């Protein structure tokens, strides 16, 4: 097998790998280096995260299991710093050297940061990755005033997000018109009016010359001497290609890494794709052209004869609620162009098509973009418009008539280059009936998602009488089925299904092996429904749960033994120290959940280490109760009103190993000073005079969320009863991989309070919980006792994946 290495784990690069896996699945042994500590995610949706419409888990395109399934060695959080083109080898910032036969550079871009005094102050950021997004969300929780520099696509989407987060937002723009590269002055003016109505304040034609403040930003100074206050500054003034690693090894670069029509760089066997690549003097910053490049490169690298990449015409839209705009091609008139215009100031609609020699060369639409796909097709296909009515009021109403009239080669999903014809063919030949399935099968809708309404219409039109609106819209478990979570649970109960295989057979999964999304979910639901009698299907679990250890990015594992309530003993500490020495553990670290993690353990050492430790698994890897963090409480602290350690230990001993839809963390504080941070836990307990307050749905991770008060109880046994009922209700009604915070938001706190207020309901939930808890056995001990388990799971091999440990 040839060795294929890719630098960069972003949207364009990983799409190229997906294409290679389609065309030449057996040809390459693939290694990917990604500087960010995550699997491949949908960067486009960072705007939606900031605007509060989604969360990080939802925007992961390829989870870690995908890399494993496709035998891709992934090094996350690791940057390639050098390419030795003579030896055909890359070297990472961690000193790792990997040889290649073929090398793809897909390093994307960085935010352009103004080189002005103060640009390095705390509170100044670009908007490019999850880290930037998290920083903005955190700042919004603490500070009031944001300034976004740059009134382009990114700046306006960032500004909308910061408004949603409750900040006051100024947008500083250098030019007289917003989005001047995409809009003409009329459309730009309409956009500005609408955004002002939404609460944005614009400082136009301002050039920032200094960022003010001591350590943290306090304001901005402009060239005209005026100043403005700021607690947070977001620079959204364009991007610059990440080309240094190529440049340093002698690959020819200009604005980006220069490539030919087959994405080949100036050095043999080295290719570039995505925002880091410059093709015919163009560097693209939207996914549609980058995915086209990816396809061309995949063909080239797999040895297939394919079309060359000849450049792209791009169309843009702004992802801000309440704004409907589209722009493509040329914006400004010259002596050779003629405009066709509709300007309805009253309804806020403006459309202008720029033509030259009977061809459309530019489109700007504001307020009504229904005709954009048709016009964009006419532009890209260079259709002669003589005699064609450009703007028809009946056109583009989005119903089946429009779909029928739409030619097969009309582009429906701009991001992924998917035509109506391709979607219709997939529906007909693959028997697709839901939007999810069409997306999974064709890629349509997988990026920005704005084409989904049209894809739905095509589904309706193609299926005709067989179209069922409820089926089409429902979110199926995954692309292997049309079955939703509710239907799956109902069918398991009604048909008495008892195994993952049986579920997939009886419910006619279209992929008999299932996938990494549906198998763990089915396994969970079966265990939840059949309580004590279900035999867990270990091979259907997510990889860390299957191994009962967290896989680290270098292929080693972490071992985190249980320390109930974060309390340990001298004897246990001694044992941990001896084991760490004996097995040459490279890192011993206190985790965020008040326990000790041993990191960098070889897979084949796991059973031996567990045996010597002789401590239960801390389940630091599981969709289960992770930890119960406690403060020292009334036993030692002079403020403590309750025994937080005793409650923490009781909770952890009772609920450890319980399968839950997602991980659950608890915290117990003995007084409202809340040293155990119970206010950002899935369930938090705060001691007060004469009782406990129970808080739920907190989250301290990417989606920072303060917990809500569920209720107040008097005794520790009432705490246990309420917690048992709450956890069981979560187990029975949440979607698999839905955190408690999202679950409560979906159901509504009031609803959950009402359900749990009823004594009989609580009793029934606790009975089911107790029945379930009986079945669990200690997994590390089981592995020590069973040669079969050791042979199957703990013999030497190589898997790579990044992971988390708490």
Ligand X SMILES: NC(=O)c1ccc[n+]([C@@H]2O[C@H](COP(=O)([O-])OP(=O)(O)OC[C@H]3O[C@@H](n4cnc5c(N)ncnc54)[C@H](O)[C@@H]3O)[C@@H](O)[C@H]2O)c1
Q: Helix-strand-coil percent breakdown of the chain, rounded to 5? A: 35, 20, 40
Other CB atoms within 10 A of residue 249 CB: 15
- Give yes or no for residue 112 binding ligand SF4 (CB under 6 A): no
Which of 147, 318, 668, 722 binds ligand X (CB under 6 A)? It is: 318
* Minimum CB–partner distance for residue 638 and ligand SF4 (Å): 7
Site of tokens 């097998």: 1
Query: In this structure, what token pair is assigned to residue 574?
Result: 């001694």
Of 454-513, binders to ligand FAD (CB under 6 A) are: none
Binding-site partner at residue 39 among ligand FAD, ligand FES, ligand SF4, none, CB < 5 to 8 Å by type: none
Contacts of 205 (CB under 8 A, 6+ apart): 173, 174, 175, 176
Interface characters, 569-608, with ligand FAD (x: CB under 6 A): ----------------------------------------
Contact window for ligand SF4 (CB under 6 A) among 353-361, 387-395, 664-672, 700-708 = 664-672
* Minimum CB–partner distance for residue 408 and ligand FAD (Å): 24
- Give yes or no for residue 134 binding ligand FAD (CB under 6 A): no
Contact call for residues 679 and 693 (beta carbons, < 8 A): no
Query: In this structure, what token pair is assigned to residue 763?
Result: 């009793």
Q: What angle do CA 424, 425, 427 make, to 5 degrees?
A: 65
Q: Pick between residue 9 and residue 556 the one whose CB is nearest to ligand FAD.
A: 9
Of 173-202, binders to ligand X (CB under 6 A) are: 173-175, 180-181
Contact window for ligand SF4 (CB under 6 A) among 10-18, 131-139, 290-298, 638-646 = 638-646
Separation of CA 779 from chain center: 31
Q: Pick between residue 363 and residue 784 the one whose CB is nearest to ligand FES.
A: 363
Q: How does DSSP classify residue 129?
A: S
Give the H/E segment covering residue 15: helix 11-23
Q: Pick between residue 188 and residue 369 the one whose CB is nearest to ligand FES.
A: 369
Of 130-159, binders to ligand X (CB under 6 A) are: 149-155, 157
- Cα separation, 94 vs 75, in Å, equals 10
Q: Pick between residue 17 and residue 668 the one whose CB is nearest to ligand SF4.
A: 668
* Dihedral sign of CA atoms 114, 120, 121, 127 in order: positive
Q: What angle do CA 158, 160, 164 make, to 5 degrees?
A: 115
- Cα separation, 521 vs 516, in Å, equals 9
Which of 20, 80, 259, 547 binds ligand FAD (CB under 6 A)? It is: 80
Q: Are strands 270-272 and 257-259 parallel, antiparallel or unpaired?
A: unpaired
Separation of CA 529 from chain center: 29
Interface characters, 201-240, with ligand FAD (x: CB under 6 A): ----------------------------------------
Q: Which residues make up the interface to ligand FES (CB under 6 A)?
A: 413-416, 444-451
Of 400-439, binders to ligand FAD (CB under 6 A) are: 415
Binding-site partner at residue 451 among ligand X, ligand FAD, ligand FES, none, CB < 5 to 8 Å by type: ligand FES
Other CB atoms within 10 A of residue 489 CB: 17
Q: Which residues on adjacent β-strands are paired with residue 145?
A: 168
| Helical residues (DSSP H) of 242-393, grouped into ranges | 244-247, 287-301, 372-380
- Give yes or no for residue 237 binding ligand X (CB under 6 A): yes
The residue nearest ligand FAD at its CB is 10
91 by DSSP, 3-state: which?
A: strand
- Give yes or no for residue 108 binding ligand X (CB under 6 A): no
Q: Which residues on adjacent β-strands are paired with residue 769?
A: none
Burial class of residue 121, CB neighbours in 10 A (0-12, 13-18, 19+): middle
Q: Pick between residue 285 and residue 633 the one whose CB is nearest to ligand SF4.
A: 633
- Give yes or no for residue 155 binding ligand FAD (CB under 6 A): no
Contact call for residues 783 and 607 (beta carbons, < 8 A): yes
* Minimum CB–partner distance for residue 54 and ligand FES (Å): 14
* Minimum CB–partner distance for residue 451 and ligand FES (Å): 3
- Cα separation, 569 vs 572, in Å, equals 5
Q: What angle do CA 683, 685, 690 make, to 5 degrees?
A: 150
Q: What angle do CA 457, 461, 464 make, to 5 degrees?
A: 135
Residues in the chain: 806
Q: Pick between residue 316 and residue 355 the one whose CB is nearest to ligand FAD.
A: 316
* Minimum CB–partner distance for residue 594 and ligand SF4 (Å): 13
Q: Pick between residue 155 and residue 640 the one whose CB is nearest to ligand FAD.
A: 155
List, in sequence order, every beta strand (DSSP E) within 518-671. 550-551, 557-559, 587-590, 596-601, 625-630, 664-669
Q: Total binding residues for ligand SF4 by CB under 6 A?
A: 13
Which of 675, 719, 769, 801 binds ligand SF4 (CB under 6 A)? It is: 675
Binding-site partner at residue 413 among ligand FES, ligand SF4, ligand X, none, CB < 5 to 8 Å by type: ligand FES
Binding-site partner at residue 449 among ligand FES, ligand SF4, ligand FAD, none, CB < 5 to 8 Å by type: ligand FES
Query: In this structure, what token pair is assigned to residue 363?
Result: 């489109």
Contacts of 352 (CB under 8 A, 6+ apart): 184, 186, 187, 339, 340, 341, 342, 362, 363, 364, 365
Contact window for ligand FAD (CB under 6 A) among 31-39, 140-148, 223-231, 640-648 = 31-39
Q: Pick between residue 47 and residue 544 the one whose CB is nearest to ligand FAD.
A: 47
- Cα separation, 395 vs 103, in Å, equals 47
Interface characters, 596-635, with ligand SF4 (x: CB under 6 A): -----------------------------------xxx--
Which of 19, 36, 102, 371 binds ligand FAD (CB under 6 A)? It is: 36
Site of interaction with ligand SF4 (CB under 6 A): 631-633, 637, 639-640, 644, 669-671, 673-675
Binding site for ligand X (CB under 6 A): 114, 149-155, 157, 172-175, 180-181, 207-208, 236-239, 285-286, 316-319
Give me the residues that bind ligand FAD (CB under 6 A), please. Answer: 7-13, 33-36, 43-44, 46-47, 79-80, 106-108, 127-128, 154, 242, 245, 274-275, 285-288, 290, 319, 415, 448
């Amino acid at each position: 097998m040839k060795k294929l290495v890719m630098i960069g784990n972003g949207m364009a690069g990983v799409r190229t790998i997906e294409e290679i896996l389609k065309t030449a699945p057996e040809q390459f042994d693939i290694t990917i280096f990604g500087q960010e500590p995550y699997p491949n995610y949908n960067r486009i949706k960072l705007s939606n995260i900031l605007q509060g419409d989604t969360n990080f888990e939802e925007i992961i395109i390829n989870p870690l299991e995908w890399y494993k399934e496709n035998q891709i060695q992934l090094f996350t959080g690791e940057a390639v710093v050098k390419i030795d083109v003579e030896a055909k080898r890359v070297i990472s910032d961690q000193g790792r050297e990997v040889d290649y036969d073929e090398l793809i550079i897909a390093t994307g871009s960085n935010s352009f940061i103004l080189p002005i005094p103060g640009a390095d102050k705390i509170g100044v950021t670009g908007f490019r990755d999850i880290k930037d997004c998290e920083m903005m969300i955190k700042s919004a929780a603490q500070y009031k005033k944001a300034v976004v520099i740059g009134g382009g696509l990114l700046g306006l989407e960032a500004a909308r997000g910061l408004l949603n987060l409750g900040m006051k937002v100024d947008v500083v723009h250098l030019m007289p018109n917003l989005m001047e590269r995409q809009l003409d002055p009329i459309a730009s003016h309409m956009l500005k009016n609408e955004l002002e109505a939404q609460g944005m304040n614009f400082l136009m034609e301002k050039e920032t010359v200094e960022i003010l403040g001591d350590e943290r930003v306090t304001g901005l100074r402009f060239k005209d001497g005026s100043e403005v206050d700021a607690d947070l500054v977001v620079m959204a003034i364009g991007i610059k290609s990440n080309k240094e690693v190529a440049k340093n090894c002698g690959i020819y670069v200009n604005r980006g890494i220069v490539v030919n029509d087959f994405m080949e760089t100036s050095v043999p066997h080295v290719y570039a794709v995505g925002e880091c690549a410059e093709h015919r003097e163009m560097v693209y910053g939207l996914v549609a052209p980058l995915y086209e490049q990816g396809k061309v490169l995949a063909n080239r690298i797999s040895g297939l004869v394919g079309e060359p990449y000849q450049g792209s015409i791009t169309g843009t839209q702004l992802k801000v609620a309440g704004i409907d705009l589209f722009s493509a091609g040329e914006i400004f008139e010259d002596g050779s162009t003629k405009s066709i215009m509709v300007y309805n100031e009253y309804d806020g609609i403006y459309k202008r098509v720029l033509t030259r020699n009977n061809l459309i060369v530019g489109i700007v639409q504001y307020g009504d973009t229904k005709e954009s796909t048709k016009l964009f097709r006419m532009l890209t296909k260079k259709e002669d418009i003589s005699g064609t009515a450009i703007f028809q009021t009946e056109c583009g109403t989005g119903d089946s008539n429009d779909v029928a009239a739409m030619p097969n080669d009309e582009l429906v999903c701009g991001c992924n280059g998917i035509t109506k014809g391709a979607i219709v063919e997939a529906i007909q030949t693959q028997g697709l009936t839901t939007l999810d399935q069409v997306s999974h099968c064709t890629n349509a809708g997988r990026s920005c998602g704005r084409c989904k309404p049209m894809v739905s219409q095509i589904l309706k039109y193609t299926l005709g009488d067989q179209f069922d609106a409820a089926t089409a819209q429902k979110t199926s478990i995954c692309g292997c089925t049309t079955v939703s979570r509710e239907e799956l649970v109902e069918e398991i109960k009604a048909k008495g299904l008892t195994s993952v295989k049986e579920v997939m057979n009886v419910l006619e999964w279209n992929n008999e092996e299932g996938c990494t999304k549906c198998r763990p979910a089915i396994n969970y639901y079966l265990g939840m429904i059949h309580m004590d009698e279900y035999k867990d299907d270990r091979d259907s679990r997510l990889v860390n749960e299957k191994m009962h250890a967290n896989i680290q990015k270098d292929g080693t594992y972490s071992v985190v033994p249980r320390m109930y309530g974060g309390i340990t003993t001298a004897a246990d500490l001694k044992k941990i120290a001896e084991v760490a020495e004996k097995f040459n553990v490279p890192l011993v670290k206190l985790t965020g959940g008040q326990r000790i993690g041993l990191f960098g353990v070889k897979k084949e050492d796991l059973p031996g280490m567990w045996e010597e430790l002789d401590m239960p698994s801390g389940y630091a890897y599981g969709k289960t109760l992770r930890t119960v963090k406690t403060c020292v409480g009334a036993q030692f602290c002079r403020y403590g009103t309750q025994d937080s350690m005793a409650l923490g230990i009781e909770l952890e001993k009772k609920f450890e190993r319980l399968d839950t839809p997602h991980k659950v963390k608890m915290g117990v504080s003995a007084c409202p000073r809340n040293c155990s941070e119970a206010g950002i836990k899935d369930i938090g307990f705060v001691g007060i005079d004469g009782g406990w307050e129970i808080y739920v749905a907190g989250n301290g991770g990417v989606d920072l969320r303060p917990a809500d008060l569920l209720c107040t109880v008097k005794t520790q046994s009432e705490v246990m009863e309420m917690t048992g009922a709450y956890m069981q209700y979560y187990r029975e009604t949440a979607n698999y991989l839905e955190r408690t915070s999202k679950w409560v938001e979906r159901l509504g706190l009031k609803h959950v309070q009402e359900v749990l207020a009823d004594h009989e309901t609580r009793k029934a939930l606790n009975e089911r919980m107790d029945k379930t808890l009986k079945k669990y056995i200690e997994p590390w001990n089981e592995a020590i006792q069973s040669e079969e388990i050791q042979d199957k799971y703990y013999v030497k091999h190589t898997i790579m994946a990044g992971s988390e440990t708490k």
